[in-house]
Structure 1
Amino acid sequence: MMATAIAVATAFALPVGASAAPTASPLGTWLNPYGSVAVRTGACGDRLCGWIVWASAEAQADAREGGVTGLIGTQLLENYRPTSGGWVGTVFVPDMGRRFYSKIEPVGSDGLRVKGCILHGLVCRSQLWHRVAQPPHA
């Protein structure tokens, strides 16, 4: 298990073909741009996943309206694999109760652009997440 985690951490340290410029590893704890959800990323088998570790009362209420009763612990990022320039997988949008194709791209040393798309990538929305040492406290 530890060997798998180390292999995943190594694979996700830099995207394929990355330059020597510092880029964000997707491993860690991330806060969305609204400060309403914190996600901790880690290995899930040989892929990268992310689980909600904190959410504001408003985010939890929005998720309940979308049919998600227990937002904390929900897997938000699913089965991401490294590609050139980032990682691809599936993002779950709790307030919609749906999953979408997604790409994560590093932004500097402490940022990730998380993009979710529909219609085979014709319509996309993205957010810039920032690394945090710990999730906010309620």
Structure 2
Amino acid sequence: MHLALCALLALAPAAGNAQSPPPPRAGPNGPNGLTGLWLNPAGSVAVQVEPCADALCGHVVWASEEAKADARDSGVTALLGTAVLEQYRPTGARRWAGTVYVPDMGHHFDSTIEAIGPDVMRVRGCVLHRLLCRSQDWNHIARLPQ
């Protein structure tokens, strides 16, 4: 469990401030506000989010060479196509719960996704029955990075 806790601490930089996000607004990203292309805060991974049965899922469609190397070091030989957002189901207004897979750590975490603006989603991963969580704000993009 200690290893998982350390891995989660490395999941993302700490949130910049503790203020509440602005109220969510309807976005251009489909009826649920989350479908489409999303880029992580480091600009190293792009994920395509789309419906999968009665849930939302996301898989890697672009990654920097550094992200691919980090994933390979953790045993993920082909980062492109890897499912990283799994079985997210609605839990409230503009909020979903599912599992996030962090390839460079090789671990799955309980997770929530929240649409906090028209082009921003907050991905939060937790351990220890949601006692310790970290989050990242991902940005909607119109096309893949070059």
Q: What band does the TM-score fall into relative to the shorter chain?
A: 0.7 to 0.9
The total of aligned residue pairs comes to 118
Alignment pair present for 1:22 and 2:30:
no
Q: Which amino acid aligns with 1:117?
A: C
**AA of the residue aligned to 2:106:** G
Structure 2, unmatched stretches of 5+, are 1-22, 28-32
Q: Which amino acid aligns with 1:103?
A: T
Match among 113, 116, 124 for residue 125 of structure 2: 116
Contact 1:39/1:54 (<8 A) preserved = yes
Q: Does 1:97 align with 2:106?
A: yes
- Counterparts of 1:71-110 in structure 2, within 5 Å, are 71-85=79-93, 86-110=95-119
- The Cα shift of 1:26 comes to 1.1
Matched residue of 1:91: which SS?
strand
Kindly provide the CA deviation profile for residues 2-36 of structure 1, in whole angstroms up to 9, marking residues without a partner as x.
Answer: xxxxxxxxxxxxxxxxxx96144111100000000
Normalising to structure 1: TM-score of the pair? 0.82
Structure 2: distance between partners of 1:21 and 1:84:
12
Displaced runs of 4+ in structure 1, greater than 4 A? none
Check 1:119–1:22 CA distance in 2 against 1; reply closer, same or farther (3 A cut): same
